[in-house]
Structure 1
Amino acid sequence: MKKQLGKWLTIFIPLLIGIGIIYYQFNTLTAEEIEKIKLSFQKANYNYIFLSLVIACVGYWSRAYRWKFALNHLGYHTKFSNNLLTVCVSYLVNLTVPRSGEISRAALIKKYENVAFDKAFGTIVAERIVDLLIFLLFVFIGFVSQFDTIYQFLMDKNVSLESLIYTGIIGVILFVIFIVIWIYAEWKIIKKLKKKLSGLIEGMTTIYKMKDKWKYIFHSFFIWFSYLAMFYVAKFALPETTEIGFDIVIMGFVFGSLAIGFSNGGLGAYPFSIALIFSLYGISNDVGTAFGWLVWTSQTILTILLGLISYVLLPILNRNK
């Protein structure tokens, strides 16, 4: 009963957060702003949205291609089609429960390519670590280049620099305590977790030992540049955002990426964060909201379509297994 309750909560809590953000966002818009948003969707140049989706597909391909280097290192030579289709399904599953797509990807590659689940999941965890490091690089570049704008925003919201520093210090201290407990504690639960993670560790260390690690790293950067490129291209879809600079693009990209983790696939949170960041640069609320919803809706539709098609194709292409 507890397990079922926990499962449903992981689905509905992010969903409710997303719905709550949508309600709040549109409740703060005037009738005139809502009409402008509708007009923005009507007059948008969807050729650029289509180009953005094509770039997104290239990112999907690169992620599937990168995965083969880690799997090959572990001795598994999987079909690229299976890698790609399972990646597409994982993106779809992530729209329901955040980060659950990783589990489904490992389960599917085990089913269709007989790759041990823990090792497959380990390679996916390794991917996420690499992705996080690259994303943090984007965050660093964005925050350093836009420090004055962000600092002024925090001051306007009465958030002092000292409070941010104290929060960071507390976070570091808690992290160090966790590492010490993990290394030295003899608790049963820690030992059990270490045993279960033994297969994951092998998958995670593949990056350092694999023959094609530089190709792996290249695709890792390529994936994130494709994410940034599809966001950048989308700005040409609306006349009001065509002339915005790269500084606004990278900050919108960073905060939009962060927002995806707050709700199911960024429902509500993504458009809200884009509108908020754009407002720091003098872009009206209706334009920022329209742009955020335009990008989020198109990417979500693509994710759903590719995920469903892939889910249907997987058993068809592997029916002899």
Structure 2
Amino acid sequence: MSNKYMKQFIQIVISLGIAVWIFWFLYKDIALESLIEQIKSSNWAWIILSLSISMLGYLLRSWRWTLLIQTDEGKQVSVPRAYHAVMVGNLVNMLLPRAGELARCGVLTRTNGISLGYLFGTVIVERSVDLLFLVFTITLAFFIERDLFLNLASQLVDLQSLGQAVLSNLPLVIGALAVFVLLIWYIFRRFRDHGLINKAQHFFREIISGLKRIGTLSNPAGFWISSAMLWLIYFLTMYTIAFGIPSTANLSSGEVLLVMVMGSIGMIAPVQGGIGTFHALVAFILIQLGISEVDGKIFAAIIHGTQVILVLVAGLVSWLIMMKLPSWTKPEEA
């Protein structure tokens, strides 16, 4: 095995080990009977509705992707084919973190003849926009549940004492901020060719170029509207399943939004399918909202577990469908 593949294998094993350890640590004291009892007492009509809304989200994401694929290469990508590629990518992400993005592009390269580099560029645009909407959603959640955010912050830092200290030493604080900004500027200038700095600069350049690219699409309004709708669907997925579980049925829409934000952050972590990190963050915020520790952890397990089953089933079906399709071949010129 080459050094490159060995390094990738070690990274996968480490991320999986971390995920399993976090999951075990969270659930080691929870009896299986408690989970089974909660599942039995849940209203599965709401949970099935939640899964249906989630499937609608995958279809909408697929349609949005087709808006980005504007090329004369190969064969035009239909929404059903984009959907199957997206689900294959989600399936791969359950096994190999971040590899799903490359997998879904590879599937379309094989069946539609569009270059892998071009398709991966469209995925970078997608992820850049998703990141912007995540930041917006976090900000929205902060304003809606401002008191809870401040309460959590006050548990870590005495905000009143900190504010008084800042005001009494305002010239010193301003000077320190100016020095910090100059130091960051110097580091970026001095070490701009360093690998880490290079990657950071490249990341922000890709986001900016991706946003510019959206303006050149044939349907930019459709892209932005579908991007916003995706986050509404994520919220509705969480909101409906909360109704289906007795311990969370009384949560307000603002509280559910906060739970969704924490879950989204947990899914970003480089572990397989957000295992462990999703459960930890969702359970943590539910505990802060007054849900018992056991109920909070069980809620996280139910919503994550049902989504995993959905991705596994739909992803396997899509993989079988895509594998049966012939590889694209360039038509012979007359």
| TM-score, structure 1 as length reference | 0.84
| Secondary structure, aligned partner of 1:48 | helix
Query: Structure 2 counterpart of 1:308, which letter?
Result: L
1:109–1:203 Cα change, 3 Å: farther
Distance in 2, matches of 1:278 and 1:154, equals 16
Secondary structure (helix, strand or coil) at the match of 2:153 reads helix
The DSSP-based 3-state class of the residue aligned with 1:101 is: helix
Two-structure CA RMSD over aligned residues (Å): 3.5
1:4 correspondence with 2:11: no
- 1:223 is matched by which residue type in structure 2? L
Match of 1:227 among 226, 230, 234: 234
| CA gap 1:137/1:199 in 2 versus in 1, 3 angstroms | closer
User: Which of the residues 31, 49, 52 maps onto 1:51?
Assistant: 49
Q: Is the 8 A contact 2:43 2:245 kept in 1?
A: yes
Q: How does 1:32-181 map to 2 (within 5 A)?
A: 35-72=33-70, 74-75=71-72, 77-158=76-157
Matching residue's letter, 2:228: F
Once residues 131 and 44 of structure 2 are traced to their aligned partners in structure 1, the CA distance between those partners, rounded to angstroms, is: 31
Which protein has the larger Cα radius of gyration, Structure 1 or Structure 2? 2
Aligned to 1:14: 15
1:238 equivalent in alignment to 2:245: yes
Secondary structure of 1:209's match?
coil
Relative to structure 1, the CA distance from residue 159 to residue 272 in structure 2 (aligned partners, 3 Å threshold; closer, same or farther) is farther
Change (3 A) 1:111 1:94: same
Q: What is the CA distance between 1:191 and its match in structure 2?
A: 9.7
Query: 2:307 is matched with which residue?
Result: 299
Query: TM-score with structure 2 length normalisation?
Result: 0.81
The answer for unaligned runs of 5 or more in structure 1 is none
Match status 1:258 vs 2:256: no
What letter corresponds to residue 45 of structure 1 in structure 2? N
Amino acid at match of 1:16: G
Cα gap change, 1:155/1:226 in structure 2, threshold over 3 Å: closer, same or farther? same
Task: Report Cα offsets for 1:26-71 as digits up to 9, x if no partner.
Answer: 24x465xx64333111211222111111111111111111111111
Take 2:187 and 2:319, find their aligned partners in 1: how far apart are those partners? 39
- How far the C-alpha of 1:186 sits from its partner, in A, is 6.9
User: Matches of 2:127 and 2:183 in 1, distance apart?
Assistant: 22
Give the C-alpha shift of residue 83 in structure 1: 1.0
Tell me, in whole angstroms, the C-alpha distance in 2 between the residues paired with 1:127 and 1:119: 13
Task: Give the corresponding residue for 1:270.
Answer: 278
Aligned equivalent of 1:248, options 247, 255, 263: 255
The percent identity for this pair of structures is 24
Change (3 A) 1:36 1:104: same
2:314 partner letter: L
The SS at the match of 1:283 is: coil
Q: Cα offset for 1:192? A: 12
Distance in 2, Cα, partners of 1:137 & 1:276: 22
Q: Which amino acid aligns with 1:123?
A: T
Q: Give the AA of the match of 1:105.
A: R
With over 3 angstroms needed to count, the CA separation of the structure-2 counterparts of 1:277 and 1:199, relative to structure 1, is closer
> How far did residue 261 of structure 1 move?
2.5
